[in-house]
Amino acid sequence: MKVELRDIHKRFGSVQANDGVSLCIEPGTIYGLLGENGAGKSTLMKILSGFISADSGEILLDGKQVRISSPAEAIKLGVGMLHQDPLDFPPLRVLDDFVLGSPGSWLLSRRRARRELQELASQFHFNLDPEATVSSLSIGERQQLEIVRLLWLGAKVLILDEPTTAISAQQRAKLFAALRKLAKQGQTIIFVSHKLEEVEQICSEVLVLARGRVTGQVAMPFPTEGLVRMMFGQPVMLGKRLDVPLGRPLLELEDVGVSPPQAGRLAVKNLSLAVREGEVIGLAGLEGSGQRLLLEVSAGLIRPTMGKVLLGGRDMTGRPYREFLEAGVAHLPAGRLEEGLIAGMTLTEHVALVERRQPFLVNWEVAAQAAVSRIQEFNIKGRPTTRVEELSGGNQQRALLGLLPPQLKLLLMEHPTRGLDIESSEYIWGLLLNRTLLGTAIIFSSSDLDELLDRSDRILVFFNGSLVSALDARQATVEQLGELIGGKGVA
Q: CB of 146: closest distance to another protein in angstroms?
A: 10
Q: CB of 489: closest distance to another protein in angstroms?
A: 36
Q: Which is nearer to another protein, 293 or 459 (CB)?
A: 293
Phi, psi dihedral angles at 281 (to 5 degrees): -110, 130
Site string for another protein, 325-364 (x = CB under 8 A): x-----x-x----xxxxxxxx---x--xxx-x--xxxx-x
Q: CB of 349: closest distance to another protein in angstroms?
A: 6
> What are the strands, taking DSSP E only, across 220-305?
249-258, 268-276, 280-285
Q: CB of 382: closest distance to another protein in angstroms?
A: 18
User: Which residues lie across from 31 on neighbouring strands?
Assistant: 190, 205
| Rama region for 169: left / alpha / beta (φ>0; ψ in -120 to 50; rest) | alpha
User: Which residues lie across from 375 on neighbouring strands?
Assistant: none
Whether residue 164 contacts residue 198, with contact meaning beta carbons closer than 8 Å, is answered with yes
List C-alpha distances in Å: 297 to 182, 271, 324: 43, 11, 10
Q: Scanning residues 215 to 274, which ones bind another protein (CB under 8 A)?
A: 261
**Alpha-carbon gap, residue 332 to 345, rounded angstroms:** 18
**Burial environment of residue 297 by CB neighbours within 10 A (0 to 12, 13 to 18, 19 or more):** buried
Q: Are strands 64-66 and 56-61 parallel, antiparallel or unpaired?
A: antiparallel
Q: Which is nearer to another protein, 244 or 302 (CB)?
A: 302
Residues 6+ apart with CB under 8 A from 491: none
Q: Which is nearer to another protein, 235 or 359 (CB)?
A: 359
Q: CB of 60: closest distance to another protein in angstroms?
A: 23
Q: Which is nearer to another protein, 272 or 407 (CB)?
A: 407
Q: Which is nearer to another protein, 278 or 384 (CB)?
A: 384
Q: CB of 308: closest distance to another protein in angstroms?
A: 18
Site string for another protein, 67-106 (x = CB under 8 A): ---xxx--x-----------xxxxxx---x--xxxx-xxx
Q: Scanning residues 25 to 64, which ones bind another protein (CB under 8 A)?
A: 51-52
Which one of residues 124, 152, 222, 321 is an interface residue with another protein (CB under 8 A)?
Answer: 321
Number of residues located near another protein, criterion CB under 8 A? 48
Q: Which is nearer to another protein, 402 or 487 (CB)?
A: 402
Q: Are strands 205-210 and 213-219 parallel, antiparallel or unpaired?
A: antiparallel
b/e 217-233 (16+ beta carbons within 10 angstroms → b): ebeeebeeeebbbbbbe
**Alpha-carbon gap, residue 430 to 444, rounded angstroms:** 15
Q: Which is nearer to another protein, 14 or 105 (CB)?
A: 105
Query: Under the criterion CB under 8 A, does residue 385 sit at the interface with another protein?
Result: no
Note if the bond before 221 is cis, omega within 30 degrees: yes
Binding site for another protein (CB under 8 A): 51-52, 70-72, 75, 87-92, 96, 99-102, 104-108, 261, 301, 321-322, 325, 331, 333, 338-345, 349, 352-354, 356, 359-362, 364, 403
